[in-house]
Amino acid sequence: MLDTKENRFEKKQRTGKVHYRKMRYLKYHSDILLKLDSYSYIQLNSFKQEIENFINQINQEEANKLSINKPLHSKRSNSWRQIRIQIEDKMKTKNYEELLKAYISPSYESNYFDAKVINDMRNIENKNELYKYIHRYTERDMKDIERDFF
């Protein structure tokens, strides 16, 4: 059997010689990013926090090492930032969709948001306060919010 790069990686993986961050990075690419629609707000937020921690770790490692490693650290940090951007964009889009569905249909129950978020939105009587609440979760343009949540 040939000792290909993939086989060597699998061997390292089995023996625990692959860095945790590298394993998580591969998990994000092979699994999590492909299924972003299936996660709840809490799960997506957790992924985002984990990625921010990884970026901070990389930046901390970069600050503690010689300048020779900076391009490698910068590449890793940028790779994690790209994943974070995808998750943040999915969150903003999904947040808007879910809040709009809940606004349009009083009987709508979201599997994405915690019931408290939806109930809090439904209890806001002042339109301007409602728009601010929605903007906080979606960061959408206020004109779009005012148009859709009339």
Half-sphere exposure of 99 (CA within 13 A, CB side): 27
Q: What is the pLDDT of residue 63?
A: 77
Q: What is the pLDDT of residue 88?
A: 97
Token duo for residue 104: 């349009």
Token duo for residue 18: 């692959």
Tens-level pLDDT at each residue, the chain (150 residues): 455 655 665 666 666 666 888 899 999 999 999 999 999 999 999 999 999 999 998 888 877 765 555 666 678 889 999 999 999 999 999 999 999 999 999 999 999 999 999 999 999 999 999 999 999 999 999 999 999 998
